[in-house]
Amino acid sequence: MPAETHQLGRHASAEEIFDLLLALLGGAGDEGGSTLESLGVDDDGLGALWDAVCEEFAERTVGPELEPGTLAGSMTLEAAAHTMALLLAEMGDDAG
């Protein structure tokens, strides 16, 4: 059995990630049209959100590195969820 840090996660839908982001942000912007900036997410917060998504849906402690500019504060919550879902899917494709 692989160590916990080597267990691969599962593909997550954008809707699942959106729900997680809503929970992390206290339910703000529930319609999905709010930008991350308007919800108080700065550059450091973008990384923290990505880390939380990786912790929930990717490998237990190691997710794919987030390239600079992949997420931006000007993105809507919905767009960020879709982007994160694509990144996780790509990671799963690379691991298999």
- Tell me: the pLDDT tens digits for 2-49? 444 444 455 789 999 999 999 998 876 566 688 999 989 998 899 999
What is the predicted pLDDT for the residue at 75?
Answer: 94
What is the predicted pLDDT for the residue at 93?
Answer: 58
If you average pLDDT over residues 55-78, what whole number do you get? 79
Listing DSSP states for 23-68 in one string gives HHTTTTTTTS-SBTGGGT--HHHHHHHHHHHHHHHSSSS------T
Q: How far is CA 33 from CA 1, 43, 75, 89, in A?
A: 43, 19, 9, 23
pLDDT tier at 79, thresholds 50, 70, 90? very high
What is the predicted pLDDT for the residue at 76?
Answer: 93
